[in-house]
Amino acid sequence: MFETWWKECVVYQIYPRSFQDSNGDGIGDIPGIISRLDYLRWLGIGAIWLSPIYPSPMKDFGYDVSDYRDVDPVFGSLEDMDRLIAEAHERDIRVILDMVLNHTSDQHAWFLESSSSQDNPKSDFYIWKDRIPGNRKGLPNNWYACFGGRAWTFSPQRGQYYLHSFLAEQPDLNWRNDAVVEALFADIRFWLDKGIDGFRLDVINAIVKDETFRDNPRMIGPTPRPYDMQRHIFDRNRPEAHAKLRRFRKMVDEYEDRMLVGEIMVEAPGEPEKAASYLGDGTNELHLAFDFTLLSTKWNARAWRNVADRWYKAVPESGWPCWVLSNHDMPRAISRFGGDVGKAKLAAMFLLTQRGTPFIYYGEEIGMPDIKLPRSKFQDPLGKKYWPFHPGRDPERSPMQWDGTEYAGFSDTSPWLPLDTAHESLNVSSQMDNPASLLNFYHALLALRNHDSILRLGTHRFVSSSCDEVLTYVREFDGVRELILLNFGRKAAVCALSDAPTGSTMDLSAFRILFSTDGKTGGSMNLLDNGRCLLGAHQGLICRSDT
Ligand code: GLC
Ligand code: CA
């Protein structure tokens, strides 16, 4: 449908365990996803990204891969994946897989072999170090693991420490060993050959470690977790990673029309310039990189503008931004907004009118909130370790709420994580029947974007608004302008706009309303004297001027 699908389409992230169960074990699976493709097509989604579906001991729910070329039986089979690819493509939906390349599971054949002795064909596939006598229990350096404890675990069998940036069951691969890179690329080709359209690359800025394993400097961190009390300059973002990504991009470019989007793990609340650096010159490393700053930015027009402005400036001229409000690692947007559907609509309008590829996290379109669950029901290792400082990531991974039945249409049995208690009223089916619902709002906005090349491809520039609460910008393509106004405030707002470089007041009378958060389309804006306009509380407008 689009010329460059990964720039123009909206991507939908599926957490496979929680999307749709097809065989009554309470866990979502691939046949379940296939059965919901028509829904995604209706919604206007152009690509799905699946969190990992490979065989895994599930210590980190799939982010600990034990075989990159197969499917975990809990999710289905390779045949199911082939069917998913074919059925998605039939509906013009691309399929993106999650690739976890920084580490494997400790049950991966490579690690079993590598840890068996100091001298075996896979001995350099992971990062092994001798005990240092007399020093910090002999630890090789001061690095911590993100999920608790030191980053080094001793293997009695091999008589050495191995490095793990996350759980001890997730040993880090040695990307300085070319044989590792070749082996991973061969596994990636396996999926490219099957017709997978792209990959989301897990913590891709951590693949290369400091050559001499220097200690990370200490700092006062955002949380008391030891991992957060260090600056990760030697275990992440090493300059050598860029050459690896350039090689990766070359390999992927041998195939037609494939895409790489990277998760760049940076210091909180975000380092957009660092994220953007993995786009290389905009054409030779990743196609897209996530900046997560907005996932912890408070609700405020100025703050959102500053974050977006910095991100736009960070992305290289020939690169392409992408945008995200929620994912499987952070509290959901609607819960950050205190459950306010008005804010959720405004945020959706922000997300879907930026220049760049928007990513939607499953359930975001119905305003599914984070669930509250008792500690006895915790699944996520992060929550188990760090509660109450960190509730873990279970709250944002609850089963999709399809309808008002006992198990929300997700399964016919009690699911692996509890359902949101409000699922009886908050679900896809009830929102489909309600024209004013968040779901129908997303549906209409996606339809607009999918048919509007100005929103998909136009340039973007902020215009100044005389009211602090109102965020305003212009998109422009082929001489046609669209003006977006977002009132972040709880009260009605009056504002005049001035467009750089002249700084003169913009003439708003030429603009017609294309789309509004209150459902109004057509007609002119609510204009007052002196070029000012009136917006309702949390009102957002998309307006077009043909002149
Ligand atoms: C990424 C994933 C997260 C996972 C971690 C380790 O941050 O998004 O879910 O736990 O990497 O693979
Ligand atoms: Ca299942």
Summarised one tens digit per residue, pLDDT across range 254-270 is: 999 999 999 999 999 99
202 alpha carbon to ligand 1 midpoint, in Å? 6
Rg (CA), the chain: 24
CB atoms within 10 A of CB 457: 16
Mean pLDDT (the chain, rounded): 97
The preferred substitution site among 203, 236, 327, 390 for testing ligand 1, maximizing ligand atoms within 8 Å of CB, is 203
> Which residues are registered as beta bridge partners of 527?
533
Least confident among 91-100, 135-144, 246-255, 329-338: 135-144
pLDDT band at 522 (very low <50, low <70, confident <90, very high): confident
Query: Annotated catalytic, 182?
Result: no
CA of 20 to the centre of ligand 2 (A): 8
State residue 401's pLDDT score: 98
CA distance 274 to 12: 24
Instruction: Check whether 271 has a pLDDT greater than 90.
Output: yes
List of residues 6+ apart from 13 with CB closer than 8 A: 48, 49, 51, 327, 328, 359, 360, 361, 362
For the chain, what are the domain ranges? 5-104+178-208+239-379+426-449, 458-545
pLDDT > 70 fraction of the chain, expressed in percent and rounded: 100
Ligand nearest to the CA of 30: 2
On the question of pLDDT at 547 being above 80, the answer is: no
458-545 CATH choice from 2.40.30.130, 3.40.5.10, 3.40.50.300, 2.60.40.1180? 2.60.40.1180
Which whole number is the average pLDDT over 388-398? 94
| Position 529, amino acid | D
**Residue of the nearest CA to atom 5 in ligand 1?**
63
* pLDDT at residue 440 greater than cutoff 90: yes
Are 411 and 399 in contact by the 8 Å Cβ rule? The answer is yes
Residue 503 has pLDDT above 90, yes or no: no
Q: How far apart are CA 8 and CA 67, in angstroms?
A: 32
Cβ of 166 less than 6 Å from ligand 1: yes
Residues 212-260 have pLDDT tens digits of 999 999 999 888 889 999 999 999 999 999 999 999 999 999 999 999 9
Task: Return the ligand number nearest the Cα of 171.
Answer: 1
Q: From the CA of 203, how far away is ligand 1's center (Å)? A: 7
CATH number at 5-104+178-208+239-379+426-449 = 3.20.20.80
Q: What is the pLDDT of residue 217?
A: 97
- In this model, does residue 335 exceed pLDDT 80? yes
Residue 500: is its pLDDT beyond 90? Answer: no
Neighbouring residues of 89: CB distance < 8 A, sequence distance ≥ 6:
95, 195
262 CA distance to ligand 2 middle (Å): 28
Most ligand 1 atoms within 8 A of CB, residue of 18, 50, 61, 63 to mutate? 63
Whole-model pTM: value is 0.98
> Using a 6 Å cutoff on CB, does residue 495 contact ligand 1?
no
Q: Is 207 in the pocket of ligand 1 (CB under 6 A)?
A: no
Catalytic residue check, 254 = yes
Q: Specify the DSSP element, H or E, that contains 449.
A: helix 438-451
CA distance 501 to 256: 41
